[in-house]
Amino acid sequence: MEEKELLEKSKEGNKSALNTLLQLNYKTVFGFVMKLTGNNILAQDIVQDTLLKAVLNIKKFNGNCKFSTWLIQISLNLYKDYIKKDSCLEFNEEILSNKNFNFKDEQFLSNLEFKEALTELMLLPYKQRTSFILKHYYGYSLEEISQIMNCPKGTVKSRISICITSLKKALEG
């Protein structure tokens, strides 16, 4: 069954279709949130809350983006809420053991040590980190990232550029 058909059935109340849709997108959402937070426990909480919100609001999904993009938007909003509530979130080095963190821009990463790059990435502000992860790990276009983060395309481009510059500077010196 295709995503579009699963979405239609989910909106009609078909729990099996909704379950399938969530299972198909779970790894994508969890991987994004794990890379964003660097904290396994927080990532699990955010993903669980994301899936719950998706279940409760499936009828509100208007289909103007991929379902995974909608889930990432929800998870990003939840992460922002967690940041507001707890400004002392800890980075957990468990994420560094995930060798599947494979950036699309291999020319950039070929000169960098994986662990150092990810550690430095986790130190950057979440807006820059999120833009970078969505672009270079998930391959989202600037337009899609702009939609997910609810900001202009130029802002996304700037955040990614600043992130790359910061990473290069931190890892060179």
Q: Looking at residue 159, which CATH number applies to its domain?
A: 1.10.10.10
Q: How many domains does the chain have?
A: 2
Reported as a pLDDT band with limits 50, 70 and 90, residue 114 is low
Contact between residue 103 and residue 137 where contact means Cβ atoms under 8 Å apart:
yes
pTM (predicted TM-score): 0.75
Is pLDDT above 90 for 151? yes
Domain boundary residue, one of 30, 62, 93: 93
pLDDT tens sequence across 37-82:
888 899 999 999 999 999 999 999 988 889 999 999 999 999 988 8
Both 4 and 67 in a single domain? yes
Both 146 and 86 in a single domain? no
Q: What is the residue-wise DSSP string for 89-121?
A: PPP-GGGGG-TT---S-HHHHHTS-HHHHHHHH
pLDDT tens sequence across 118-149:
778 888 898 999 999 999 888 999 999 999 99
Q: Which of 169, 156, 133, 144 is nearest to 37 (CA)?
A: 133
Both 87 and 106 in a single domain? no
Domain boundary residue, one of 77, 93, 109: 93
Confidence (pLDDT) at 9: 93
Residue with tokens 């794990």: 34
Domain boundary residue, one of 42, 62, 93: 93
Per the structure, the complete domain to which residue 13 belongs is given by: 1-93
Residue 39, class by beta-carbon neighbours within 10 Å (0-12 exposed, 13-18 middle, 19+ buried)? buried
Phi, psi of 137 (to 5 degrees): -105, -45
Express as a percent the part of the chain with pLDDT over 70: 82
Q: Residue 147 and residue 76: Cα distance in Å, rounded?
A: 12
